[in-house]
Amino acid sequence: VQLQASGGGLVQAGGSPRLSCAASGRIFRVNDMGWYRQAPGKQRELVAIITSGGTINYADSVKGRFTISRDNAKNEVYLQMDSLKAEDTAVYYCNAKIRPEVGQDTTNNWGRGTQVTVSS
């Protein structure tokens, strides 16, 4: 299983980039999908998570500014980021809990990360 993220880059404060992440490979079922981020010198933290049924949780720091969504048919997850702030600068990682085949355990999968840099 591979997760490929895209959509990062240099963005002005107040901007609205959209991150995308596609899961590929041997996939029977995709459960939770989410986005995490890691700023320089800080631990990786949860940004947002969405279950296969559509239940969503956000970090308090992004509530009202970021929107997570997914396309179950495409095994993709998205993060619409609005009203970006300098403190949103980080490497953003997508994550997905995936069951590769019937009867196999769910695996925890990470993308390589995409840099989002917010300039003021």
pLDDT of 118 above 90: yes
- Cα separation, 23 vs 61, in Å, equals 26
Tokens of 34: 């989410």
pLDDT of 120 above 90: no
Helix-then-strand count for the chain, H and E: 0, 11
Residue 71 confidence (pLDDT)? 97
pLDDT digits (tens, 9 = 90+) for 12-25: 999 999 999 999 99
Tokens of 22: 């596609």
Tokens of 80: 């619409």
Residue 13 confidence (pLDDT)? 97
- Cα separation, 19 vs 47, in Å, equals 12
pLDDT digits (tens, 9 = 90+) for 3-13: 999 998 999 99
Per the prediction, the chain carries an average pLDDT of 97
